[in-house]
Amino acid sequence: MASPHRSFWDVSVELRISEAKNLGTSKDQNDAMSPYCLVEVDDEEVARTSTKWQTFNPFFGETFHIAMPHNFSVMSISVCDQTKGTKLGLMYLNRATLFKSLSSDGHKEAWFPLLKPVPVIEVQGELFVELLLTSTPYGSKRLDVTVVRARDIFHKGFSGKCEPYFELSFDGDTRTSEKKRGARFPLWDQSFSFERKTLPDSFTITVFDGTKKAGQSLLGQASITLDHLEPGLRHPQWHRLEPRVEDYDGNTSGNGTIRVFAQLTHQLIMPISAYHPLFSYLLSDIGRPDVATRGWLGLLQSLVADGTIDRDGTASALMLALNTDDAVSCLKALTIDLISKSDNSATLFRSNSLASKCADHFMKIVGLPYLHETLKEIIDDIFYEKKDCEIDPSKMSSSSPSVIKRHATDLTRYLERILDRIFSSCARCPWPMRAVFSNIRSAVEQNEALASSTSGDDSSTPYTAVSGFVFLRFFAPAVLSPKLFGMREELADATTARTLTLLAKALQTIGNLGSSNFAVKEQYMAPLGPVIDKNVPRVKAFIDELCRVSAIAAHAKESVQMDAGSDTLIAASAKMPVLEPGAKSFKKKIVSLTRHMLMWQKSPSETPARLLLKDVINVERMEPNTFDKKNLVQVLTDDSRVVLSLSSAQEVTTWLKFFREFLRGSGAYIRSACHAGTFKKNKWTCCGQNTQDAAPCSKAHTALALNSFSLALSESERMHALYAILVSLLPRLQELQGRASRVTKGIQQLLLQKPRVSRRRASWAHSGLIRA
């Protein structure tokens, strides 16, 4: 991870997976197929789409923002069938392809053929090669090639026999290495020399398994270009093993196609101190009454409205960049400005204005722990019980009254539990959210035009303005998509997804202060009418308490920055086998992970042992045979190691995601490689090296799918997101007079910075440092 006092290059990829077609063959047409897409970076899962049930032509329409390590090699997208647990096809986007997207014109999607998931296509691992270019006394060029080692050429847990060797093909000349026993980490350290008047553009090194027949022995091929070499300098580098061109050509037909868009972003993040002058200019205007109509914030609103800049990206950048107090003040200015211009309560906050989007992002950033504490237990029960709660006869195979009644009873039970938890949660709601809601309500009450535009009971407008955020934009979306809000790691199956949809519909109706008349359009929802009628008055009482100014003032003293906050519990396990530093055997412990530390203890009354995340240098899976246990995760510091034995592969993925997300913002440095085993009986169990300080053998994985309200971003990254938007608007800012000119000055000062960029890299001989 990057220090806040150092510049660094940030690499990320925006990946949009739109749809796939023709996934089934003629013999598959009678088989049910439920596709989803799995996204991996260097063979490690980072994201997956929702499952589309019983279709050969799924539409996904999902976008992921993936933070990439500097030394990544390839991103792969696999289309899998959840029904059969098989892989249907895959495609690769290697490093060179993604960096070419930097100079691409426009954001265009493209169709790609899916490759057949066969061994010659599903290769993995990397090859470490050192090149040295010199001149001979005869006027020719000499290239020395040292093939040092390979790593991760099989997945963790591979236990078969293998004798890797390679063939180096250089301008018609082929050299073959000796075979090495072992599997994932062969060490050759063999050198070859070639003399030519003119060097070729590239050469290849192909790795084979000497224990297999010729047609089944390929482990992958590295194509190495020579256009970047400087004479007299050694060029050590890891190269990804990929399928051969002929293998690509022979496995691209009949597997379907996929439409995707990928855009890599490579940007320089400045030290946090470089952003302070700019943000002091920005924040000096936040408290002014006309901040939303004049100066930089007013300009943002107008450019969002006319489509010049992206509404969602601007709102996210603005809310992430500001601390809690300033974000509350900013939202107050934006919402008061919007409300003052409104004269129709029916459309208030219904449009996607900058104010509405900022409020959405703010609630997610500040309110996520509150949301989890309120609803996660119920959501977990819904996923676990998998009850069929369908009450729409047109979607039921058996729609007898008794079946509908049973389903309605279960649905009502879930809805009442959710409502009871929400209405009893007021004291747990973070004070910044309550302050925003109170400001919205006060502004609505002061707008006479809104009150006069309401038919019937005009006293409901201050309530619907707040409930529109609390229920329609916070609780209901979280119930509909728990994975998006971090309440579940997996996506819901078809039955559970339908239950969540029906519950979200009911919450939206209650948030609109609806009644049983809501079932006029969707008559099948009528069984929920009594519950909705009963709870509408509770909505008003809940909002009255949320907006009670005296209660908000009492909690305002606890103001903290969004990225700091209390040390919120992220994950916990009642009892888990743990190998503590220096211990020889696993002991069952209560394990807890917070935003800042890992803790473990024998009992709740015992003082826990602690490991600060800022001291962590690696968090990785271990070889399953290391301690005769599966699903192992090691947490490494410079001088210690904690090993967690988890219950399933899915739990490993979940814990790794939590670790990597909060390591990004912790200020820790993550090493680019580590050992995947342990040192015992005078050798490493993973790679067989016989010294304890031997070079780490396995590549570290730090890629992470970020959401728009992720706190995995460092403070300088969050500030840079808003800075980048303002830089793009610099010509417009320069046209403004008065206070906005100070913002222009702050931006120009930052543009004149001459950063010293940290360019630490890993080599085969030692574990370097990279930014995760």
Predicted confidence at residue 272, as pLDDT, reads 83
Superfamily of the domain at 8-113+257-269? C2 domain (2.60.40.150)
Instruction: Give how far Cα 565 sits from Cα of 321, 432, 512, 596, Å.
Output: 15, 12, 32, 10
Closest Cα partner for 196 from 141, 122, 272, 137? 141
Long-range contacts of 244-252 (CB under 8 A, 24+ apart): 244/120, 244/206, 244/218, 247/120, 247/121, 247/218, 248/115, 248/121, 251/115, 251/116, 251/118, 251/120, 251/121, 252/113, 252/114, 252/115, 252/116
d(CA 226, CA 240): 16
- The radius of gyration of the chain from alpha carbons, rounded to an integer in Å, stands at 29
The strand order across the sheet containing 234-240 reads: 187-196, 141-151, 126-135, 234-240
Quick one: pLDDT at residue 762?
28
Q: How many CA atoms lie within 13 A of 397 on its CB side?
A: 1
- Indicate the helix (H) or strand (E) that contains 62: strand 59-68
pLDDT at 409: 94
Q: Which residues contact 761 (CB under 8 A, 6 or more apart)?
A: 70, 71, 672, 768, 770
Identify the bridge partners of residue 8 per DSSP, sorted by sequence position: 269
List all residues 6 or more positions away from 522 whose beta carbon is below 8 Å from its beta carbon. 392, 505
Per the CB < 8 A criterion, the answer to whether 554 and 534 are in contact is: no
Q: Where are the domains of the chain?
A: 8-113+257-269, 126-249, 366-558, 569-709
Return the pLDDT at 566.
46
For residue 303, how many C-alpha atoms fall within 13 Å in the half-sphere facing its CB?
Answer: 22
Given this model, what pLDDT does residue 177 score?
94
pLDDT for residue 483: 86
Q: For residue 4, which phi and psi values (nearest 5 degrees)?
A: -70, -5
Residue 380 CB neighbour total at 10 angstroms: 13
Could you please state the CATH topology (level 3) that the domain comprising 126-249 is classified under.
Immunoglobulin-like (2.60.40)
CB contact at 8 A, 36 and 29 = no
Instruction: State the distance between the two ends of the chain, measured CA to CA, in whole angstroms.
Output: 5
Position 558 scores a pLDDT of 45
Residue-wise DSSP of 8-25: EEEEEEEEEEEEEE--S-
pLDDT value at residue 725: 84
Are the CB atoms for 180 and 68 separated by under 8 Å? no
| Three-state secondary structure call for residue 740 | helix
Q: Is-contact 636 647, C-beta < 8 A?
A: no
Residue with tokens 């855009």: 263
> How far apart are alpha carbons 569 and 618 in whole angstroms?
21
Q: How far apart are CA 179 and CA 53, in angstroms?
A: 47
User: Which fold, 569-709?
Assistant: PH-domain like (2.30.29)
Q: Pairing between strand 173-176 and 618-621?
A: unpaired
Q: What order do you get walking across the sheet with 164-170 strand by strand?
A: 173-176, 164-170, 202-209, 218-225
In this predicted structure, what is the pLDDT of residue 569? Answer: 61
User: Is 0.85 topped by the overall pTM?
Assistant: no
φ, ψ for residue 645 (rounded to 5)? Answer: -105, 105
Contacts of 487 (CB under 8 A, 6+ apart): 371, 372, 375, 376, 379, 380, 478
For tokens 């320089």, name the residue: 268
135, 231 in Cβ contact below 8 A? yes
* Sign of the CA dihedral with 650 first, then 656, 659, and 663 last: negative
Is 663 in contact with 611 (CB distance < 8 Å)?
no
Place of tokens 């009502």: 412
Q: Which two three-digit tokens encode residue 582?
A: 């220096």
Cα–Cα–Cα angle for 462, 467, 469, rounded to 5 degrees: 110
Q: Give the residue carrying structure tokens 């990397």.
A: 126
Instruction: Tell me, yes or no, if the two domains 366-558 and 569-709 fold the same way.
Output: no
pLDDT value at residue 724? 84
**In the chain, which stretches have pLDDT less than 50?**
456, 516, 557-566, 754-772
pLDDT, the chain, mean: 83
Which of 63, 308, 270 shows the shortest CA–CA distance to 718?
270
Predicted confidence (pLDDT) per residue in 329-384, tens digit: 889 888 888 888 877 666 677 667 888 889 988 998 888 889 998 999 999 999 99
- In contact, 166 and 222? CB cutoff 8 Å: no
Percent composition of the chain: helix, strand, coil (DSSP 3-state, to 5): 35, 25, 35
Q: What are phi and psi for residue 262, nearest 5 degrees?
A: -135, 130
How far apart CA 45 and CA 650 sit, in angstroms, is 11
Q: Which pair of structure tokens corresponds to residue 347?
A: 């459309």
In angstroms, the CA 577 to CA 647 distance is 10
Give the H or E element holding residue 589: strand 587-594
Q: What gap in Å lies between CA 359 and CA 436, rounded to an integer?
A: 8
Would you tell me which CATH number, out of the four given (2.60.120.260, 3.40.50.300, 1.10.506.10, 2.140.10.30), belongs to the domain 366-558? Answer: 1.10.506.10
Query: Among 679, 586, 595, 692, which residue's Cα sits nearest to residue 632?
Result: 586
